[in-house]
Amino acid sequence: MLVRECALCKKNKSLQNSHIYPKFLIRLCRVKDCNNKFIFMSDSNDIKIPPQDGPKVYLLCEECEGRFSKHECKYAGFFNNQLECVYSISEDLVLIKDFDYKSIRLFLLSILWRLSVTSIPNFKIELNNVDQEILRKALLSNNPLEPHEFPIATSRLHFDGESNNGLILSPKENKETVDVVIGGILYSFSKFRLDSQNLINYPLGKDKWYAKLVNVRDIKWLMNAIYNIDEI
Distance (Å, whole) CA 77 – CA 212 = 21
Domain limits, the chain:
3-231
Asked if the model's pLDDT at residue 12 lies above 60, the reply is: yes
Residue 91's CB: how many other CB atoms inside 10 A? 7
Taking only the tens place, the pLDDT of each residue in 69-125 is: 998 888 887 776 665 567 777 888 888 888 899 999 999 999 999 999 998 888 899
pLDDT for 29 equals 57
pLDDT grade for 5, boundaries at 50, 70 and 90: very high
Question: Which spans in 20-128 are helix H?
Answer: 23-27, 62-80, 101-117
The percent of residues in the chain predicted with pLDDT above 90, rounded, is 40
pLDDT digits (tens, 9 = 90+) for 25-43: 766 555 444 444 455 444 4
Find all residues with CB under 8 Å of 34, minimum gap 6, and list them.
164, 166, 167, 229
Q: Distance (Å, rounded) from C-alpha 120 to C-alpha 53? A: 14
What is the pTM (predicted TM-score) of this model?
0.86
To the nearest whole number, what is the mean pLDDT of the chain? 82
Q: What angle do CA 53, 176, 67 make, to 5 degrees?
A: 45
Which residues is 37 bridged to in the sheet? none
Q: What is the pLDDT of residue 166?
A: 64
Using one digit for the tens of pLDDT, what is the confidence trace for 46-75? 444 444 567 788 999 999 999 999 988 888
**Cβ contacts of residue 109 below 8 Å, gap of 6+?**
135, 138, 139, 144, 145, 150, 152
DSSP-derived 3-state class of residue 135: helix
Distance CA 172, CA 42 (A): 8
Burial of 80 (0-12, 13-18, 19+ CB in 10 A): exposed
